[in-house]
Amino acid sequence: MPPVTPMRFLAKAGWSRLVSGLVEDYLVYGTVKKDGFPAYGRITNVRDLILFQTPTHLSAKEFLFPQRETLLKFNMEDGGHEPVVDAPAQVIIGMHSCDIHAMNLMDVVFAYGTPDANYLARRANTIVIGTDCFPDQYCFCPSVGTDKVNEGFDLYLHPIKKGFLVRTGTERGGAILKKYASSRQATASEERELKALDKRKEGSFVTKLDAPHTELPAIYAQSDNSPVWDKIGAICYGCGSCNNVCPTCYCFDVKDEVKPDLRTGERVRVWDGCTLEEFSLVAGGHNFRRPRSARLRHRMNRKFRYLAGVFNAPFCVGCGRCIRTCLVRINIAEVTNELIREYRSR
Ligand code: SF4
Ligand code: SF4
């Protein structure tokens, strides 16, 4: 459990000093504007950073689980091989509550069974500074219980008019706050201001699931033959964008790449996605989920049923990214609500 620490107030100037100090000492990533949209990028100056209230197009998972990474280098002549673990000390600034929940789920997944040395080393070397957000029309985090977060971050910022109220999640976070900036205990009126902001946020969600998320595994278990799968399968492009933007999609492929010298090579891991046609293609040319309807059914069952059964939590954190990015506007919340209606009308 994270240490329970009283909320501290950090002035805007103090926050700038803190970020500048981190930039001096670490590799820092944070939320920036790219092509006019919120995105993650490298921060080399405090002015690069914009703390957005709405979600970034891509999540921060690429900093812990890169789209492509080398796992080992090998030499076919002498059979030698050496693992590659690239885990620089890094900071991610600007993660929202849902994305920290997503990262906490990834932490569990990559530690499950045979622990994933690369992910876990990178995670251990990553300082996370979260921040409050405000929903757009696609966010539905309260429906999956991820609108508030109490662990997984080192520091968490609640912006208020004059600066930030800061929660400390780890001893490392407390040390950073102390080292780079001076803060003071928050006043009762500052905490009241934050409560009012929270209340405004609670009333601002447009997208909602119509059943508690704890009921979704049972609802999805009855949905295999629902007509909704053919309906969305008929318009899906099978482009894989929903997998790419999702902070909890973690499937990958592993390939051996031989160098032009034909003696040495690298084993690399690259993101894969269950909505791509080749994902379920096996030796002999058989594809056990060729129809797009079956691939979408699989993806959504992974989010609300299969993994929920193993890890006791939905694997959708309600960030809305797959809805925002889908060219044909396939909406996981609407699909789920349709399944809920079918289930209740039986
Ligand atoms: S649901 Fe949308 S984003 Fe996902 S594969 Fe189909 S078309 Fe692409
Ligand atoms: S399934 Fe969609 S809404 Fe849910 S976490 Fe993934 S991208 Fe976000």
Tens-digit pLDDT profile for residues 43-101: 999 999 999 999 999 999 999 999 999 999 999 999 999 999 999 999 999 999 999 99
With bands split at pLDDT 50, 70 and 90, how would you rate the model's confidence at 6?
Answer: confident
**Among candidate residues 223, 224, 227, the one with its CA nearest the CA of residue 215:** 223
Residue with the nearest Cα to atom 6 of ligand 1? 236
- State the pLDDT at residue 214: 97
Q: What is the pLDDT of residue 173?
A: 97
The ligand with the least distance to the CA atom of 235 is 1
pLDDT for the residue 108 = 97
Assess whether 16 and 147 both reside in one domain: yes
Ligand nearest to the CA of 274: 1
Q: Has residue 208 been placed in a domain?
A: no
3 state SS of 333 = helix
340 shares a domain with 273: yes
What's residue 146's pLDDT? 98
**Residue 322 CA, closest ligand 1 atom number:** 3
Q: What atom in ligand 2 is closest to the CA of residue 138?
A: 3
Q: Which of 57, 58, 236 to mutate to test the pocket of ligand 1 (most atoms within 8 A of CB)?
A: 236
* Residues 282, 192 within the same domain: no
pLDDT at 4: 53
Q: Given the DSSP bridges, would you call strands 163-168 and 184-185 parallel, antiparallel or unpaired?
A: unpaired
Instruction: Say yes or no: 92 and 144 in one domain.
Output: yes
155-160 and 126-131: which strand pairing? Answer: parallel
Whether residue 40 is found in the same domain as residue 152: yes
Mutate to test the pocket of ligand 2, among 97, 303, 304 (most ligand atoms within 8 A of CB): 303
Query: Do residues 317 and 101 lie in contact, with contact meaning Cβ atoms separated by under 8 Å?
Result: yes
Is the domain of 180 the same as that of 235?
Answer: no
Cα gap 150→131, rounded to integer Å: 12
| Closest ligand 1 atom to Cα of 276 | 5
Is the model's pLDDT at 338 over the cut of 80?
Answer: yes
Same domain, 198 and 263: no
Residue 149 domain-assigned? yes
Closest C-alpha among 165, 92, 100 to residue 129: 92
Which among 322, 334, 335 is the best mutation to test ligand 2's pocket, defined by most ligand atoms within 8 Å of the CB? 322
* HSE-up of residue 265 (Cα within 13 Å, Cβ side): 13
> Same domain, yes or no, for 173 and 302?
no
Q: Which of 146, 173, 202 marks a domain boundary?
A: 202
Residue 3: inside a domain, yes or no? no
Q: How many other β-carbons are positioned within 10 Å of the β-carbon of residue 168?
A: 24
**Which residue owns the Cα nearest ligand 2 atom 3?**
320
- 258 and 189 inside one domain: no
Pair 301, 180 in one domain = no
> Cα of 319 to ligand 1 centre, how many Å?
16
Average pLDDT, the chain: 96
Ligand 2 proximal residues by C-beta, below 6 Å? 245-248, 303, 316-322, 332
* CA–centroid distance, residue 249 to ligand 1 (Å): 14
Q: Is residue 13 part of a domain?
A: yes
Both 217 and 236 in one domain: the answer is yes
How many Å lie between the centroid of ligand 2 and the Cα of residue 189? 36
For ligand 1, the distance from its centroid to the CA atom of residue 145, given in whole angstroms, is: 25
Tell me the β-bridge partners of 338.
Answer: none
Q: Are 263 and 77 in contact (CB under 8 A)?
A: yes
> Range with the lowest mean pLDDT among 5-14, 20-29, 206-215, 250-259?
5-14
What total of structural domains would you count in the chain? 2
Domain C-terminal end among 157, 183, 202: 202
| pLDDT tens digit sequence for 263-294 | 999 999 999 999 999 999 999 999 999 999 99
> 63 lies in a domain?
yes
Res 19: pLDDT: 98
Domain coverage including residue 50: 8-202
Q: Which of 152, 180, 202 marks a domain boundary?
A: 202
Give the N- to C-terminal CA distance of the chain in Å, as an integer. Answer: 42
User: Is 314 within the bounds of a domain?
Assistant: yes
Give 50's contacts (C-beta < 8 A, 6+ positions apart).
31, 32, 33, 38
For 221, how many CA atoms within 13 A lie in the half-sphere containing its CB?
10
Nearest ligand 2 atom to alpha carbon 242: 7
Examine residue 155 and state whether it is found in any structural domain, yes or no. Answer: yes
Residue 309 or 175, more confident:
175
Pairing status of strand 90-95 against strand 126-131: parallel
Residues 271, 191, single domain; the answer is no
**Within-domain flag for 2:** no
Cα-to-centroid distance, 28 and ligand 2 (Å):
25
Pocket test for ligand 1, best of 229, 327, 332 (most atoms within 8 A of CB): 327
